[in-house]
Amino acid sequence: LKKIGIITGTTRQGRKSKQVAEWVTERASKTGEATYEVLDLADFNLPLLQESAHPAMGEYQLESTKRWAKAVEGYDGFIFVTAEYNRSVPAALKNALDTIYGEWGGKPAAFVSYGGASGGMRAVEHLRQITLELRMLQVHDQVSLPFGGMALENPDWKEDDNRNKQLDSLVGELESMHALVSVRA
Ligand SMILES: Cc1cc2nc3c(=O)[nH]c(=O)nc-3n(C[C@H](O)[C@H](O)[C@H](O)COP(=O)(O)O)c2cc1C
């Protein structure tokens, strides 16, 4: 059955990506049919790309790369939960994407972002280009959480109807895209 990984895009102490990823996982598990799980970058401690061969060759040498590749291989699609660092993708997430290759291809990629007034959208625009190069399939609908007036510090932030509907729509699109890919495969 379909298994979707919710990838945390940041790894720093005190990061917000974990709580956003947990909300996505809880909600998607309720409204979707697939299995949703947090795939936490912080559990992998990936070094900055150290492999000698281009990742597209699939000749991984480091244990850390093999472990990450195996984990990613086990999912049929992904929701990337990302902040925006200096108008772009957090380095930990870019590195995790760059470190492997074939394990991403042909799988749906959806995006949930958070940040300042921009809600992390500029990171998502870059992520769309990066994941295109990795031959992932783009889910159009996305969710963005601007902090202005809707801070995560507000205990009710998960109850926002509009935001929940946006996420439901993202999940629906992701699941139907996956169904389409499976039929054609
Ligand atoms: C290095 C760094 C750069 C940042 N740059 C931006 C930015 O360009 N745009 C933005 O909206 N927020 C920016 N922020 C604020 C983040 O959106 C906010 O700190 C968020 O909580 C970071 O995600 P994290 O908690 O998961 O690390 C930046 C934060 C950091 C630490």
Residue 61: pLDDT band with limits 50, 70, 90: very high
Which residues fall within 8 angstroms of residue 103, CB to CB, at 6 or more apart?
A: 69, 72, 73
**155 or 23: whose pLDDT is higher?**
23
Q: Which of the listed residues 15, 85, 86 should we mutate to test ligand 1's pocket, taking the one with most ligand atoms within 8 A of CB?
A: 85
Per-residue pLDDT, 178: 81
Task: Dump pLDDT digits (tens) for 1-29.
Answer: 599 999 999 999 999 999 999 999 999 99
pLDDT at 44 > cutoff 70: yes
Average pLDDT value for residue range 151-178? 90
Q: What is the pLDDT of residues 87-143, one digit of tens each?
A: 999 999 999 999 999 999 999 999 999 998 889 999 999 999 999 999 999 999 999
Nearest CA-CA partner of 107 in 141, 72, 55: 72
Distance 84 CA to ligand 1 centre (A): 5
Ligand 1 pocket check: which of 7, 22, 84 to mutate, most ligand atoms within 8 Å of Cβ?
84
In the predicted model, is pLDDT for residue 148 greater than 60? no
CA of 83 relative to ligand 1 center, distance in Å: 6
What average pLDDT does range 39-65 have in this prediction?
98
Q: What is the pTM of this model?
A: 0.96
* Percent of the chain whose predicted confidence (pLDDT) is above 90: 84
pLDDT tops 80 at residue 147 = no
